Amino acid sequence: MKLGANYDAGCCTFTVWAPRAGQMAVHLLSPVESILPMKRVEPGYWQAVADHVQPGSHYLLGIDDALERPDPASFHQPEGVHGPSAVVDHANFHWTDRSWEGKPLEELILYELHVGTFTAEGTFAAIIPRLHTLRELGVTAIELMPVAQFPGRRNWGYDGVCPFAVQHSYGGPEGLKQLVDACHEQGLAVILDVVFNHLGPEGNYLRDFGPYFTDRYSTPWGEAINYDGPDSDEVRHFFIENALHWYRRYHVDGLRLDAIHAIYDFSARPYLQELAEQIEKSVRREGRPCHLIAESDLNDVRVIRPRDAGGYGLDAQFNDDFHHALHSLLTGENQGYYTDFGRVNDLTTAYRQGFVYDWRYSAYRRRHHGSSSADVPARQLPVFIQNHDQVGNRRLGERLVNLAGFEKAKLAAAAVLFSPYIPLLFMGEEYAEKAPFLYFADFSDANLVEAVRKGRKEEFQGFAWEEEPPDPHDPEVFSRSRLDWSLRDRDLHRVMWNFYKRLLNLRRGIPALALPERQQFRVDGEEKGIIWFRRGRETSHILCLMNFSEGTVTLPLPDGEGRKSWQKVLDTADVEWLGPGSGSLPVPIGEGDPVSLAPWSCHLYRHWLPAPEMVKGGTPSPKNPTTNCPPEG
């Protein structure tokens, strides 16, 4: 069943699942108002066909002559969540990305952004002129926070209630397609954040049509979706069709699945497994990837295990443990879910095997938690130092650079981008954006507004934050969260921008850093707050040293498995990056030679061997323009 109003060459077929309705009708509001009765089609679907409807026509669905509601699978809500739905001709858009083949998972460098605050205009169209800047930075994919229609004009997107519709204030269906097409022209993939665990509280009319929700479970955000109870087959179909809708009609390259730990399904064939199966079928037909990347706090590797090994078969899931371990070291925070972190060996464990909690005891949860991801490919565990949750779910929405300072922010960036995992950047971190990213909403119901205010206060009780949280419904809170792009060209912000570009150039240009893999990865050293690791790939080898302490540490260059000469290619403490300066010279050094690491700094060394012609006294080898050091032997 193709849900919604499907327009094709002058004919429009309306389809809705409403199993409890005694009768259904399409109330056409334009171009000429009329009532179109719908015919029941088992199991519980209703259909009507009209040959006098044009794209842009507005309509509502009538239920038993008692209610009129927007279409649950509406493709466009031009007047918001309470207004009529509009017919969209998806075949009318002129795509120019026919040669686009997508990006493999291991090549993703994700950049998460919120459409409403990424630019002053807050639209899809306003993002397009910035795409070349992201490409210059070294990003390979943008990850859009949810764009499904939500109440009002300001929202993170997780209160969406029309899962198939594109937020009208962002630019609607046409605007999103133009953005995706422009991204592909720039060589950027697009990952779209989707919410399959709940719907928002305002404008949520699905319950009027059928048993989309269940009272067997509950989520922190409201009713749980009915994935395993009576009539759940068609509910599952609704959300699988939604995933395919974004892939087929909007050409997105992947989906970030929000909080799958709140998708409650104890059936023998869980929804997530069925979703992965259906996406794979579509990928085989389309010939380009669609990555399914989960957010989950379960640390359960079954999510990403292949199905023939008992897993669901999703492509990746974010590793929150890496963030928590790194953030706690840099900020000293040890409250709430940071209670379990704060030791150098937590970050070392995250480097070695991914999840820190691999069925070990969690004081925060007061129970054992997680499963081992030591044998999971690194490309399946994306990591980050900031994202919308970790910034926006702070009382004052502070970014890491404001919490920890410039030197620690540089160390954090190097820790992520030199790791074997797929990195995610949060908009603005690449130039040390000062603006907070606060929680904001635009609900119209006064009782709901007050409930949200109260809920935000209660959410922070596990942290010793004394400040009153800003009012999410104050338009100024939204305005304060916008990026200030003018900073990128000024002072330390320009330095941070160039620093991130250098890190990403090194990651892309040195084979040992280029692919997320742990086969040749080695990590060791926790004394005096030092973590060091080696990564190797064929003839390419790097050595990375990080100082997570307040004092300068001098130590012999660690044993590089018989590789005698190393060239330093980056020191976060260099004056070039506004650091305190470094005591190590940028010349080839040997194992055992002393090196000094400034507080909260990182050194990256590349294995160096003189080229044959240099050994024989010939013409010196040209330098690698990416890293400004001699090519590897």
Residues 6+ apart with CB under 8 A from 487: 431, 432, 433, 434, 493
CB 409 within 8 A of CB 498: no
CB 67 within 8 A of CB 43: no
Which residues partner with 110 through β-bridges?
141, 424
The span from the CA of 401 to the CA of 62, in Å, is 53
Q: For the sheet with 11-17, list strands across it.
A: 4-8, 11-17, 45-50, 39-41
Torsion sign over Cα 175, 181, 186, 188? positive
The span from the CA of 518 to the CA of 256, in Å, is 24
CB 355 within 8 A of CB 371: yes
Of 258, 300, 315, 346, which residue is the catalytic one? 258
The span from the CA of 572 to the CA of 550, in Å, is 15
**Closest C-alpha among 212, 175, 290, 287 to residue 3:** 212
In the chain, the amino acid numbered 77 is Q
The upper half-sphere exposure of residue 366, i.e. CA atoms within 13 Å in the direction of its Cβ, equals 1
Alpha helix ranges (H) inside 287-343: 320-331
The span from the CA of 290 to the CA of 102, in Å, is 8
The span from the CA of 405 to the CA of 331, in Å, is 9
- Quick one: 129 exposed, middle or buried, by C-beta within 10 A (0-12, 13-18, 19+)? exposed
Of 208, 274, 295, 407, which residue is the catalytic one? 295
- Told to judge if 258 belongs to the known catalytic residues of this protein, a careful annotator would answer yes
- Told to judge if 574 belongs to the known catalytic residues of this protein, a careful annotator would answer no
**Percent of the chain as helix, strand, coil, to the nearest 5:** 30, 25, 45
Q: Just list the catalytic residues.
A: 258, 295
